[in-house]
Amino acid sequence: TGSIQLDVLKVCSEQIDNSQMSSNIYDPNSKIVSALIPDMAVGDIVHIKITRKTTKARMPNFFADIFGLETSSPIFNLRYVISGPESLPLKSIVTRDAEALNVEFSETHENGRINYCWEVKNAPQAFPEPNMPAMYSCVGRCIVSTAKNWEEISKWYWELCEEPLNAITPAMEEEVKTLVAGTEEKSPERLLKVFTYVSQKIRYMGVTTETVAPGYEPHPVSMTFENKHGVCRDKAALLVTMLRLAGFNSYPVLIMVGEKLDAEVPITFFNHAVVAVQFDDSEEYVLMDPTNESTAEIFPEYLCEKSYLVAKPDGEKLKLSPSIDYHKNMVSIKTSARLEIAKDGANLLSDCHTTIDFKG
């Protein structure tokens, strides 16, 4: 019947996100806020207001977001508001399940700013299921971006990586010459030798201290080569440079290890970096993941059918990594058994043999 105003500073605590440590990464800028609401009872309603201010975007003059309009709890009323300058309007907007949720959308202009507002009332509870995709990819949601197309993001990442990729040292050039000695130009053997060096000789480890675009900006390839360690974007950058020295057309790649991205709206929500090689006679890319130190393949199966973006000077569209032929990645189980009949008529299992054949 009444409402209780909570002291946010007393019920919330700010912590460094320790989930990153499982990946051997330490980023002091990645933080979480946890809140404990006391004396909650069935039927109580929690009113949460969140204001998010971006003071420095990874990609300059860029904003994008994915906001769920349904959650695992029922929603009485939800308002999602974006306020930005008229000089930086949202150029790509998609609302999933807008009709089913009766989403009310409005856009107003005031004092040189644009205010976008989505409102949903009485949204039913979304129930998680075992092994389901991420909740945000299954429910009604807004996806917005100030970018008009994926080419803008592709060109931005190319420019971000260009200087680190060009930090070539004589020792690096000599290492590539040694690796490719005796191999044919642009042959699979030559490509594999360079890939194997970066995947196995460069340890996966890193500390995120970048200032331009933390989490996306690779270290200079000279640093990664000399220190013999780096995270995915560092190893990918080094492999791109070493492949170029070996005569291949190679490019850094952003990839989303998770649900497919909404292709209509260009965003920077990627969580991994790999490498693409393009041969002169093909429009397709050969993808490689140098973070895999013991794989039999240059591109692991768990990265199949994932959204990826190749960084190129003229830009590139969002693509989907190819799936493998299921015949190459099957498990077949063969069981043979022999039954004997006892004198009293009972069936006795006298022998059983099972063979499991792993492929892939």
Q: What is the DSSP string of 219-243?
A: PPHHHHHHHTEE-HHHHHHHHHHHH
* Residue of 206, 254, 270, 274 lying closest to 20 (CA atoms): 206
**Confidence at residue 335, expressed as pLDDT on a 0 to 100 scale:** 93
Cα dihedral 151, 152, 154, 155 in deg (nearest 10): 110
User: Whole-angstrom Cα distance, residue 109 to residue 280?
Assistant: 49
Distance of CA 139 to the CA centre of its chain: 19
* pTM of the predicted model as reported, rounded to 2 decimal places: 0.79
**Confidence at residue 245, expressed as pLDDT on a 0 to 100 scale:** 97
* pLDDT over 80 at 348, yes or no: no
* pLDDT over 90 at 344, yes or no: no
Place of tokens 């022998």: 351
* pLDDT over 60 at 1, yes or no: no
Q: What is the average per-residue pLDDT within 194-211?
A: 83
User: Whole-angstrom Cα distance, residue 200 to residue 47?
Assistant: 51
**Confidence at residue 281, expressed as pLDDT on a 0 to 100 scale:** 73
**Confidence at residue 17, expressed as pLDDT on a 0 to 100 scale:** 76
CB contact at 8 A, 304 and 216: no
**Confidence at residue 223, expressed as pLDDT on a 0 to 100 scale:** 95
Using the 8-state DSSP alphabet, how is residue 29 labeled? T
* pLDDT over 90 at 273, yes or no: yes
Q: 7-49, pLDDT tens digit by residue? A: 877 888 888 777 766 666 667 777 788 888 878 888 888 887 7
Give every CB contact of residue 224 below 8 A, 6+ residues apart in sequence.
202, 218, 230, 234, 235, 237, 238
Q: For the chain, how many helices (H) and strands (E)?
A: 6, 19
Give the angle subtended at the CA of 25 by the CAs of 206 and 23, to the nearest 5°.
120
**Confidence at residue 81, expressed as pLDDT on a 0 to 100 scale:** 93
Q: What is the average per-residue pLDDT within 211-222?
A: 81
* pLDDT over 70 at 213, yes or no: no
CA distances from 73 to 43, 45, 61, 140 (A): 12, 10, 35, 14
Q: Where does the pLDDT of residue 211 fall: very low under 50, low under 70, confident under 90, or very high at 90 and above?
A: low
CB contact at 8 A, 77 and 45: no
Using a pLDDT cut of 70, give the percent of the chain over it: 92
CB contact at 8 A, 224 and 202: yes
Q: Which amino acid is at 58?
A: R
Tokens (6 digits) for 81: 């508001």
Q: What is the average per-residue pLDDT within 293-321?
A: 92
* pLDDT over 80 at 207, yes or no: no
Tokens (6 digits) for 337: 């058994």
Q: Which amino acid is at 329?
A: N
Q: What is the average per-residue pLDDT within 93-106?
A: 94
Tokens (6 digits) for 168: 């070539």
* Higher pLDDT, residue 252 or 207: 252
**Confidence at residue 169, expressed as pLDDT on a 0 to 100 scale:** 96
Tokens (6 digits) for 29: 């800028």
